[in-house]
Amino acid sequence: MARKGLDTYLTPGKHIHLVGIGGVSMRPLGLVLRGMGMVVSGSDMNASVSTDELIAKGIDVHIGHSAENIRGADCIIRTAAAHNDNPEIAAARAQGIPVFERAQAWGLIMRAYKHAICVAGTHGKTTTTSMITHIFMQAKRDPTVMLGGYLPLLHAGHRVGNGDTVIMESCEYCDSFLNFYPTVAIINNIEADHLDYFKDLDAVKRSFRKFAGLVPQTGYVIANGDDANTRDALSDLRYVSFGLDPKNDVHPEHLSDDFRSFDVICFGKRYASVQLSVYGKHNAYNALGAAAAAYVLGVDGADVAEGLLGFTGAGRRMERKGRFNGADVYDDYAHHPGELHALIDAVKTMGYQRIVMAFQPHTYTRTKALFPDFVAELKRVDLAVLAEIYAARESNKIGISSRDLAAEVPGAVYFETLPEVAAYLRGVAKPGDIILTVGAGDIYKAGELLLQK
């Protein structure tokens, strides 16, 4: 008998169990499915603010993975980090309970919308998705939103709206965005990343090309025309290009030196005059991509201007956390050399006397594959403080440590634990400093420890 598709289970009354329910896109998925009338349960390795929220909203959450947790489930949806050796996945397979991927569920959900804006790229996904959300909320389009981070406007990382538009952050890891149904696909940039899955940069490019190919002829591919890898990946495809170069379909005029003020020109005509509340050239690119999406879907330029002005950053994206001993403390999610480069460039325009960066690399494979690039970026700050690598889904089969990075960066220091990082920062902070806690793991906790009274 042929296996039923996930669509047969996404109906009211069905029991859906989510493995890894505390994750950034699993948590909102659980809430959305419950809102659609399904019985939702889930499990996660650790208790967190996310699991507490789910429990408070009536979802049965188990801490720790066990075959007992899936009792009564009609199907399983798993996070990308949950493999077949997970006890719940193994039990489901043994019992004949179908197992689906998180991205498949989001893909099916987005098919219910006339407009599905999918934001992809090696960098800038969360920020661009957040900017588009601000614009579409300002335009009263009542969108449904799924972000890979926290957006203050929503007081969450997701939103269930009643409009005809869904705005979805779309990740290339494990080709997950190939499960989506975009009518507007945005590609911010393409670099070598997730090399534990992709063989090389060419494999990454092929994945993005397939993603762009999912857009129907009635839809739009919007891509960074200044990015050589993106141009190469989409060389056989027509798309709306954006970038700083005036040759792009969407580009700025009267661009200020700090990249925060400019007119958005769309196909030769002024569309909007924007003033950004966030810093950096990379955010000018993000805003141009967001404006291009708004333009093709008929949003008024005034709503673009108001929406972008109101965007002050997403959670863990250059997020100001407080002040210690006269030093401003910020937190950022950057975990790839390209993101570090953009972050440091932006911070250098902010007028601080000294940049102190506490950096926690994310995964052993990424650290090893991009080691020279990480070293080059860490050399650009005044003081680099290295926390140990955040393992995420990996085990250290490579034998690499943040200590190896610190050894290559003049003046850098290394600490094995986050309390040690916080104690060191407490000792060196002084007026005129900006202290950055940077990485996709739990380095933000060092900043929180620093700011504790």
By DSSP bridging, strand 413-415 and strand 319-324 are: unpaired
Residue 25 three-state SS: coil
| Residue 85 CB contacts under 8 Å (≥ 6 apart), including other chains | none
Interatomic CA distance for residues 228 and 119, integer angstroms: 18
Burial class (CB in 10 A: 0-12, 13-18, 19+), 118: buried
Q: Which of 169, 319, 339, 388 is catalytic?
A: 169
| b/e code 366-388 from CB counts within 10 Å (16+ = b) | bbbbbbebbbebbebbebbbbbb
CB neighbours of 381 closer than 8 A, spacing ≥ 6? 344, 355, 356, 357, 436
SS3 283: helix
Distances in Å between the Cα of 3 and the Cα atoms of 10, 14, 97 are: 15, 17, 10
* Lookup: tokens for 289: 């991509």
Active-site residue (options: 88, 125, 319, 377): 125
Residue 191 annotated in active site: no
Contacts of 77 (CB under 8 A, 6+ apart): 6, 16, 17, 18, 19, 26, 29, 99, 100, 101, 102, 104, 105
Q: Which of 51, 79, 126, 127 is catalytic?
A: 126
281 catalytic per annotation = no
Beta-strand pair 261-266/250-253:
antiparallel
User: What sign for the dihedral angle of Cα 412, 373, 126, 176?
Assistant: negative
Q: Which residues contact 257 (CB under 8 A, 6 or more apart)?
A: none
Is 183 noted as a catalytic residue in this protein? no
CA distance 353 to 89: 52
Residues involved in catalysis? 125-126, 169
